[in-house]
Structure 1
Amino acid sequence: MPRVLPDSPDPFYYLANFERALAWLDARCADLFDDAERRFADDFARMPQASRALFVRMLMRKGPHFRSSRLAYDEIGCPRAAAAPLVAAGWLDAAPPLDLDSLAALVTKAELQALAERLGIALEPRASRAATREALEAHYAAAPDPRDWHAWFPASPDTVLLFASAPLCERLRLMFFGNLHQDWSEFVLADLGVYRYESVPFDRASRAFQRREDIDTYLALRDCRDGFDSAAQAQDFDAAVAVAVTLDALDALAPRTHANAWLRVRHDKLRHATGLAAERAGEPELAWRAYLDCGHPESRYRRVRVLEQLSRREEALALAQTIAEAPENEAQAQRAARTLGRLARTRAKAKTSAEPAFVQLELTLPAAPGELRVEEAARLSLATPQAPVFYVENTLINALFGLLCWPALFAPLPGAFFHPFQRGPADLHAADFVARRASHFEACLAELETHAYRDSILRRYAQKAGVQSPFVAWPALSDDLLALALDCFPAAHLRLWFERLLREPIANRSGLPDLVRFWPHERRYELIEVKGPGDRLQDNQRRWLAYCVQHGMPVSVLQVRWPDLADEANEANESAAQTLRAP
């Protein structure tokens, strides 16, 4: 999709980009349009250029109300003249009723005070904007009836326009992007080079939604989530009521999500969130209702915890045993084993094996690091010219995976890419994400059997620099770091890490150790997880540590102490290394 750069001679670059988006939608999603969207797509091109430009300017600004005096653009000219055809089409409202909240967002402090003076409201000298607003509210006692701009300010030469097309444009944006967290500014950001995206070929079927009903369901789920979040933020929040209302809405929407796996994931995510809220509120019956018909990967284990809260101990024990025998992922196996140990009062009944031992080290720094993060303080203490240390956490191994497996991640499969501004495939969270690309990933990992992987990683590091990827954090990489990693990480270890990432791409791309230390002359390395005083290992970190130990990879946990917290057992750091079982 060609785009016009913002610094080009064309001052209507933003209009050109929006019209290209409309053409994209008309070519691929025309069968999804309702009557209003069809009329808009047909009529927009017939509008005068200035009117179309004003429409897009308003679309890309925060609204929905705009004062015409603040819509001055050289390339558009008179905003009232440009707005007239849009008003006639019903896309703008030239006399919208304004309540006090809407009005306050449009006026200056001086205008607000002038309004108070016209109404005969006494104000303190130099009254603040907030005080003036409070005085107006007190004057009316109850919220005044909404009225148009000139009813509030009869002598004002200004007018207010309401961008009445916001719901229509929201649906168009949803059809284009497949989500509502991206907006039309993506065109400009891409043109300016702020973001770069991989170029993936699209066919006419490459779109987020296949049925109109899916769009309505997505928006209904969005409204359901917004309602739940708003209720949770209210001062009089009643968790039981909010959860029950949300679950009723989700139950009604559930049948509409069964035919669309992507929508079902969104449904289950919100359902799981309501279950967590019910647990926090001490409402296990509601939590059970939320988790029972929920496919969220964590809901299965939460059912065990809720059964415990309901004093249904035997059912909880049976479900924990079932999960331990057939876990859906590593997190379930880990938690089920822990629960069995508690419920059965002995770990002997758990089917899963204990975590492998790993090395623990202690380091007492000369003084607390002040503004430095504990990881950076540890890195500076450990680094030597012969053995440089880098803070990489979840960036380096993920980046190596992302660069080697770039062709697999960006394979143009159906349902993966909908538009030119995607950071990664839309089905990255899907259970069959890897299975659908099995041959692609196998081809990438096969390069680890030869030296071809080094050339592929370095070539893509150069060619794709800055291109958005769900696994490559470009600012964390450097030429030196990449060279050391390829020299010191054995290909066999890369394969093991990448294979674990492919088991659960989303869950396993976090929890990796904080630091890596290289010995370049010896072509070896060590991964180090850093923990400050009082800090403990998280479950995903334990799983990565256990995996590395199981496969003979050099990994350790470094417990950092400050002098005033160190005890007599820390006399000599050089002899503190010892093999212990993970706590």
Structure 2
Amino acid sequence: MTSNPLENPLYYLHNFQQVLCWLEQRYADVLSPEEQRFIADFASLEQPAQALLVRMVMRKGRHFRLSRLNYPEIGDSAEALAPLLALGWVDEQAPLTLEELFGLLPKPELQQSFRAAGLSAKARKEQWLQALQALDLQPRAFGQWCPELDDRLLSLTVMDLCDRLRLMFFGNLYQDWSEFVLADLGVYSYETVEISADARGLRSRADVDGFIYLHQCQEAFESGEALPGVLSRITAFDSTNPWLHKRRDKLLFLLGQHCERLADWQQARQIYLLSQYPGARLRLIRVLERNAEYPAALALAEQAAAAPQSAAEAQQLLRMLPRLRRKLGGPAVARGASREVARLDLCLPRDIDGLAVEQVVQAHLHQPLAPVHYVENSLVNSLFGLLCWPAIFAPLPGAFFHPFQLGPVDLLSADFHERRSELFQACLAELDDGRYRDSIRQRFAAKWGLQSPFVFWGALTEELLEQALACLPAAHLKHWFQRLLLDIKANRAGMPDLIQFWPEQNTYRMIEVKGPGDRLQDNQLRWLDFCEEHGMPVAVCYVQWQETPA
């Protein structure tokens, strides 16, 4: 798919052409007539015109000065531009707002163009803009703004179309054309997964249009558009695609949080009632409580406690239910006591080199025969990712549809584990017979640097890996990995900061570090409780700083 930019100066054009070919093969029934015509017209262009268009498409913004489009492999940019103007893909007369113009011109050129306005040379560019905004100047073409500048402004008219093509290829809009360059240069490398000819993220034209629709709703909300209008557009959206419904629910969840920040409890209540996004039910209970609707809050909390959506929700409900019952005059209900976790208290000199408190504790506890590593979530996740690599990157239908995926698109779906249960079972079975060590070592070497949703290559050294394989019991690894699979989103975070190994004894302990005034977070409490339940050595280290002599 990619072309080495060090060997081929037209690498970007080659990559763009490959994307168009990919889309023609896999999305022929989804492409609109306009998109099909674009692909055909692009193929008919001479190479310089193709290259110039792709250069503009891959740069930021939609407006480009011709004087800045100088590329040796293209040659004369003005000559390459002519067929793009003829097709209407580039416009030289597009009206520019004053703000857009200020984004394109440096200060000396602005002073030249607005000489008659009497701008003070000592004022900042922002002050010039404010002064000119007061004149209510209407949008106009670049040549009308700047008749004395010897330059041409080119405005792309096909950027929205190219964004739709990018969306169909990646299945999202957060990945852009730089993915190709980063892969070309070896900055990012991806696992090679067999992708079937019919694999695609957006299955129909309605899916493409629906994604764009929701994206525009989100942009409108983030730009400050009035909430009622944005909300009505989101609630009017409907789709048979469950993935798009989840995006809709997430947008509603974000709007509900916005209303909470404004203390608009009634509006937040109505929005959360419309959203099925994970966590929306818990937020709704909180909103009902904040609005003093205690009976409704208690009824919903009890319903949730009977069938919690996650361990995180169950943990929060344990706090909320006694409080809600108390507010309604019910008897006090004692909360279950948390398991006792070993405590380590240290009074250490404050680091003057800017080290984090975890690093200070690491340096204090580290010994040649008992090394301490600052791992946080990286070690357990990485060991899981290496052992279960075949299951994670299995080419299941709908899991992979382009070559630049960090992991399967259904990674955080409720049925992620279920769809691969036999594959994960086979991977975890290696923990029972000892094969896991060789498998993890082999993949550490063979897969080094490949993008993964679990493996932290920057944190995982060969030394750390060998100490972990020697000191961490297979039974403990299996407990951790099974817990990860129960709820990947919630459980791949919150693990203790440090781990200390005693290689001669093949033992270890994990250490959660808390600086002065810091307290344990909910996901950390859940991990600590889990470790205690399964007899895993873990401690919480509370640090106080030594008083500095006056």
- Asked if structure 1 preserves the Cα contact closer than 8 Å seen for 2:249 and 2:277, the reply is yes
- 1:324 maps to 2:308: no
Q: Per-residue deviation at 1:135?
A: 4.2
More displaced 10-residue stretch of structure 1: 494-503 or 354-363:
354-363
Is contact 2:98-2:139 (8 Å) kept? yes
- Report the counterpart of residue 534 of structure 2 in structure 1: 551
Question: Residue type matched to 1:122 in 2?
Answer: G
2:521 to 538, 543, 555: 538
TM-score (norm 2): 0.96
- Cα distance in 1 for residues equivalent to 2:208 and 2:532: 47
| 1:130 paired to 2:126 | yes
Q: Deviations over 1:253-309 (max 9, x none)?
A: 1x22xx212112211111111112212211111111111121111111122212222
Q: Cα distance, 1:348 vs. partner?
A: 7.1
Question: In structure 2, what is the equivalent of residue 525 of structure 1?
Answer: 508
- 1:312 offset after TM fit, Å? 2.4
> 1:128 Cα deviation (Å)?
3.7
Opposite residue 399 of structure 2, the aligned amino acid is A
Of residues 463-472 and 262-271 in structure 1, the stretch that sits farther from structure 2 once superposed is 262-271
Which residue identity is paired with 1:212?
R
CA distance in 2, matches of 1:404, 1:313: 48
Distance 2:429 2:123 in 1: 72
d(CA) in 1 for partners of 2:332 and 2:198?
Answer: 54
Distance 1:367 1:162, change over 3 A: closer
Q: Which residue in the other structure is 2:15 paired with? A: 17
Structure 1 residue 524, shift from structure 2 partner:
0.5
Letter aligned with residue 441 of structure 2: L
> Counterpart of 2:38?
40
Q: Normalization by structure 1: what TM-score? A: 0.90
Paired residue type of 1:84: A
Q: Partners in 1 of 2:379 and 2:126 — Cα distance?
A: 50
* Structure 2 CA distance for aligned equivalents of residues 354 and 247 of structure 1: 43
What is the correspondence of 1:27-66 to structure 2 with a 5 Å cutoff? 27-66=25-64
**Deviation (angstroms), 1:125:** 4.3
Q: Distance in 2 between matches of 1:366 and 1:73?
A: 57
Give the Cα separation in 1 of the matches to 2:424 and 2:332: 39
Q: Residues 87, 327 of structure 1: CA spacing in aligned structure 2 closer, same or farther, 3 A cutoff? A: same
The one-letter amino acid of 2:230's match is T
Give runs of aligned pairs for residues 164-563 of structure 1, distance below 5 A. Answer: 164-231=157-224, 242=227, 244-253=228-237, 255-256=238-239, 259-345=240-326, 349=333, 353-368=336-351, 370-563=353-546
What letter corresponds to residue 247 of structure 1 in structure 2?
A: L
Deviation at 1:461, TM superposition (A): 0.5
Please say if residues 430 and 436 of structure 2, whose CA atoms lie closer than 8 Å, have aligned partners that are also in contact: yes
Aligned AA for 1:266? Answer: R
Aligned residues: 545
Give the letter aligned to residue 90 of structure 1. G
Bigger CA drift: 70-79 or 36-45? 70-79
Q: CA deviation at 1:318?
A: 2.3
Secondary structure at the aligned position of 1:162 is classed as strand
What do residues 373-420 of structure 1 show as CA deviations (whole Å, max 9, x unaligned)?
Answer: 000001111111121100000100000000000011101111111100
Distance 1:108 1:413 in 2: 52
Q: Which amino acid aligns with 2:243?
A: W
CA distance in 2, matches of 1:122, 1:66: 27
2:133 and 2:284 mapped to 1: Cα distance? 49
Which amino acid is the alignment partner of residue 22 of structure 1? Answer: L
Maintained 8 Å contact 2:448/2:457: yes
Per-residue deviation, residues 353-385 of structure 1 (Å, max 9, x unmatched) = 542221122111033555110000011111111
> SS of the residue aligned with 1:171?
helix
Change over 3 Å in CA distance of 1:110–1:455 after alignment to 2: same
Letter paired with 1:216: D
Equivalent position amino acid for 1:358 in 2: V
CA distance in 2, matches of 1:125, 1:38: 51
Amino-acid identity (%): 50
Q: Give the distance between the partners of 1:416 and 1:335, measured in 2 at CA.
A: 32
2:199–2:398 contact (8 Å) kept in structure 1: yes
Other structure's SS at 2:276 match: coil
Taking structure 1 as reference, are residues 385 and 161 closer, same or farther at Cα in structure 2, changes over 3 Å only? same
Q: Which runs of 5+ in 2 are unaligned?
A: none
Give me the whole-angstrom Cα distance separating, in 1, the residues matched to 2:234 and 2:531: 41
Tell me the SS of whatever aligns to 2:423.
Answer: helix
Q: Partner residue of 1:108?
A: 106
Instruction: Tell me which of 113, 117, 126 is aligned to 1:121.
Output: 117
Please state whether the residue corresponding to 2:29 is helix, strand or coil.
Answer: helix
Q: Is contact 1:116–1:132 with CA below 8 Å preserved after alignment?
A: no
